[in-house]
């Protein structure tokens, strides 16, 4: 086989494998793999904010309560985008605070920008099937 035929065959094989992986859901573009939720298999709330942001500071005790109240049922992750600037880019953050709700399969199901009251977070958990 000449070199160009081998390259073409290799390209077809790589594209076929990539297509199978995408169709089976093994590769997700977006938050699922970034959030690290794939091993825990728990729904997750990812809050991106900063210690310098007043609405973020108001959310801190709410997130701490939820983390305790929903331990073992929902993973609550808080990321300070001033300390982890790359996280803002990874998650496509435009405004802080931003809350991202991820299902147990690692898929983003909802996103909210700004302060979010505890009752609204709990309502989203319930919509995701968390009791």
* Active-site position among 56, 79, 96, 121: 56
113 is an active site residue:
no
* Active-site position among 42, 53, 62, 78: 53
Strand partners, 48: 79, 98
Sign, CA torsion 42/118/93/84: negative
What separation in angstroms does the CA of 63 have from each of 15, 35, 80, 112? 43, 16, 13, 14
The Cα 44–Cα 73 span in angstroms is 9
56 is an active site residue:
yes
Return the active site residues.
53, 56
């Amino acid at each position: 086989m000449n070199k160009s035929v081998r390259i073409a065959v290799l390209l077809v094989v790589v594209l076929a494998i990539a297509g199978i992986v995408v169709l089976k859901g093994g590769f997700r573009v977006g938050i699922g793999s970034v959030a690290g939720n794939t091993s825990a298999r728990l729904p997750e709330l990812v809050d991106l904010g900063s210690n310098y942001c007043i609405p973020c500071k108001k959310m801190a005790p709410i997130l701490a309560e939820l983390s305790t109240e929903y331990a073992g049922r929902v993973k609550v992750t808080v990321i300070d985008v001033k300390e982890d600037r790359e996280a803002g880019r990874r998650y496509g953050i435009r405004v802080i605070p931003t809350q991202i709700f991820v299902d147990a399969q690692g898929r983003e199901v909802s996103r909210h920008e700004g302060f979010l009251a505890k009752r609204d977070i709990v309502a989203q958990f319930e919509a995701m099937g968390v009791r």
